[in-house]
Amino acid sequence: MKKHAIPMVLALVCLFADHFTLNAQSKVLQELEEIAIIDQKVMMPMRDGIRLATDIYRPKTDKKVPIIFSRTPYNFNSWGDGEQRTRTASRALEAVKRGYAYVVQNERGRYFSEGEWDILGVPLTDGYDAFSWMKDQPWSNGKIGTLGCSSTAEWQMAVAALDHPSHAAMVPQGFGAGVGRVGDIMEQGNWYRGGAEQMLFFAWLYGVEQDKFKPRIPAGATQEDLIRISRFYDLAPENPPVDMSEALSHLPIQDILKNINGKHEIYDKMIRRKPNDEDWFKGGLYHDDMDIGVPSFWFASWYDVSITPNIALFNHVRNNAKDKTVRENQYLVIAPTLHCGYTRATENTIVGERSVGDARLNYDEQIYGWFDMWLKGEDNDFKEKTPRVQYYTMGSNKWQASETWPPKNATPTTYYLNSNGGANSSFGDGALSTKKADSDNPDGFTYDPMVPVPSYGGNVCCTGNAVKGGAYDQQQMETRDDILVYTSDVLEEGVEITGFIESTLYVSSDVKDTDFTIKLIDVYPDGSAYNLDETIQRARYREGYDKEVFMEEGEVYKIDLTPMSTSNYFKKGHRIRIEVSSSNFPRFARNLNTGGNNYDEKEGIVAHNKIHHSKAYPSQITLPIVAE
């Protein structure tokens, strides 16, 4: 083919691709219009007079129908940049085909909804009032199910604790941003892990926070006005693109958004909150003193930012809900994907760099079976066909089922950290063994907050180009001397690890405060080392998040880290490894080691940290090993 013909061919390919896309979109809209009554930009009133923009799609029938409700801070406007969008229409079409009304609503202060927005601070009564309004519509059968992922899921748990009589079932997916406290885990909506800030919201807020001076629709605008206006203005902010890998490095961290000209009022108040601040217990977060009164079908994923608190919440509700029917109707799916990536699994699912095989699942069939049972009252076979817990085991690359989490045949097995004092890097002498070390030969390393260990892969979302989520080969990372590497012997038989992974470190330092991190790694025979999960603990919070207790030089302290979670089959010939360090940046904010506020400091000090391991100081990790 002649060179000058190539651009013409490419142009034709693009033209046909656009044509097929437009045809597909037109087909969705045409089919939806044929079977649904479409009522957009309905301004649903809340008890304080604020009205929330709502789109309603319901079957053309005289029968009363159940409702699938999705409330979101994200833009679902049907038009953008002069083009019609069909993402919401596609979801509505699927629901209407199955006999449901599909209702999608913006949180207060978002896009066409009135009022002021505040992440995790929207009144719980908004959800309750929306349920009351929907149940009273003449076309409603009074049964409402909630559905959504991430920020479209985070509000569901706290509202479920209000136990509205029409809230019949919920399907929260990737819901960790709505979980405040569960037992000893206090993440406050993914803001913290072990008392260290998770930086995902630093980046996320830049893209989503809208200015209070944004264009406003005049009071009294009719529905017809709103629909017409929405064709020209979707009210979506378009912030200039930012290199988040550079932006998140700015100090002090309280000025990160200000430094990139982002709106920062919400961030300014959140960055100053300590883990146990009373403001976390107001607004939209769920805490474990609230009783969930709704049957729930939970969806989580191994490489999400909050897998452990997500699973812990499932167990908490199943064990502690006051209503027996609610306790007995909690189901869980755990996929081997990134945040909200369930349906993107393929025949060969790649998460980061690692293939985890065919991780597809019949999500729609299961979710609608769940809703059919609770919203339509169908006596279907959901419970007979659906295991209590469905989880994907990486390595063996298969879906498995259990009645409990962890599975009953998972036996906690403790491995102890060992070395001759030289576990630094993968070239060191660090080992994992089921025997405790006889004498203490502590492994020391230098943590310089100005040169932190960079995040490479991991259980993360929403950080732009700053962190790649998923499993990545850590070999190059493990050449650093500020990473301690402890590895088991080569496995003579395959080992499945499924459940919560507990870890305890005995530490000392020459600074008042510092952090300690752990990663769990699957090491292949060729040396490839894939990360499974990770955690962190800020030393000042080792005795609880309601107080700060600083370290003294020369003293050894016990630190229990927030549990990790996974299901991974370590094949014969593989090895089990953990990495220990004091930073994982920008997955987590750096500890500047001063003992100060950290958020308002520009200068850090170098810490000389030690990990102790002996019979007196048994630093360890406890792995749930599943019997064959």
For 129, the 3-state DSSP assignment is helix
pLDDT of residue 166: 98
One-letter amino acid at 279 equals D
- The region of weakest confidence among 98-112, 232-246, 280-294, 457-471 is 232-246
Q: What is the pLDDT of residue 100?
A: 98
Predicted local distance difference test score (pLDDT) of residue 212: 67
pTM, full prediction: 0.95
572-587: average pLDDT: 98
Helix, coil or strand: residue 15 = helix
Euclidean distance between CA atoms 570 and 587, whole angstroms: 26
pLDDT above 90 (res 191): yes
* pLDDT at residue 184, as a whole number: 95
Phi, psi angle pair for 540, to nearest 5°: -65, -20
Instruction: State mean pLDDT over 369-390.
Output: 97
pLDDT at 252 over 70: yes
pLDDT for 33-85, tens place per residue? Answer: 999 999 999 999 999 999 999 999 999 999 999 999 999 999 999 988 888 88
Q: With bands split at pLDDT 50, 70 and 90, how would you rate the model's confidence at 6? A: low
Supply φ then ψ for residue 403, to 5 degrees.
Answer: -85, -20
Question: Cβ neighbours of residue 151 under 8 Å, at least 6 residues apart?
Answer: 72, 73, 74, 177
Q: 424 CB contacts (<8 Å, ≥6 apart)? A: 443, 445, 481, 482, 483, 484, 485
- Asked if residue 586 has a cis previous peptide bond (ω within 30° of 0), the answer is yes
pLDDT band at 1 (very low <50, low <70, confident <90, very high): very low
- Work out the average pLDDT over 207-226: 81
Residues 429-441: tens digit of each pLDDT: 999 999 999 889 9
pLDDT value at residue 21: 53
Q: Stretch 543-570: mean pLDDT, rounded?
A: 97
Would you say residue 193 has pLDDT above 80?
yes
Out of 11-15, 237-241, 334-338, 530-534, least confident range: 11-15
Q: Of 306, 136, 137, 159, whose CA–CA distance to 145 is shortest?
A: 159
Split at pLDDT 50, 70, 90, the class of 7 is low
- 3-class SS of residue 132: helix
pLDDT value at residue 234: 86
Question: Looking at residue 564, what DSSP letter applies?
Answer: E
Tokens 């812990």 belong to 312
Residue 570 has pLDDT above 70, yes or no: yes
Amino acid identity for residue 349 in this structure: T
List Cα–Cα distances, 80 to 30, 77, 115, in angstroms.
Answer: 19, 7, 22
Q: What is the pLDDT of residues 382-399, one digit of tens each?
A: 999 999 999 999 999 999
Strand 179-182 relative to strand 140-149, pairing = unpaired
Give the pLDDT score at 62: 95
Q: What is the DSSP letter of 494?
A: -
Beta 140-149 vs 65-72: how paired, if at all?
Answer: parallel
SS (H, E, C) 417-485: EECCCCCECCCCCCEEECCCCCCCCCEEEEECCCCCCECCCECCCCCCCCCCCEECECCCHHHCCCCEE
Task: Indicate left, alpha or beta for 470 from its phi (over 0: left) and psi (-120 to 50: alpha).
Answer: left
Q: 196-216 pLDDT, tens per residue?
A: 999 999 999 998 887 766 777
CB atoms within 10 A of CB 217: 18
Q: Which of 391, 301, 309, 308 is nearest to 341 (CA)?
A: 301
Per-residue DSSP letters for 495-519? EEEEEEEEEEEEEEESSS--EEEEE
Partnered with residue 413 across adjacent β-strands are 623
Better-scored residue on pLDDT, 222 or 376: 376
DSSP output for 228-249: HHHTT------PPP--HHHHTT
Instruction: Please determine, for residue 17, whether its predicted confidence score (pLDDT) is greater than 70.
Output: no
The two counts, helices (H) then strands (E), for the chain are 13, 30
Q: What are the Cα distances from residue 465, in Å, to 35, 207, 242, 243?
A: 42, 13, 9, 7
- From the number of C-beta atoms within 10 Å of its C-beta (0-12, 13-18, 19+), residue 624 rates as buried
pLDDT category, 8, cuts 50, 70, 90? low
Which DSSP string do the residues of 288-354 spell out, in sequence order?
TTSPP-S-EEEEEEEESTTHHHHHHHHHHHHHH-SSHHHHT-EEEEEEEEETT-GGG--TT-EEBTE
Q: Give yes or no for a contact between 491 and 576, defined as CB atoms under 8 angstroms apart.
A: yes
Question: Alpha-carbon distance 453 to 485, whole Å?
Answer: 14
Q: How much is the mean pLDDT over the chain?
A: 94
Which stretches does DSSP call E strand in 8-62? 36-45, 51-59
pLDDT reading at 16 higher than 70: no
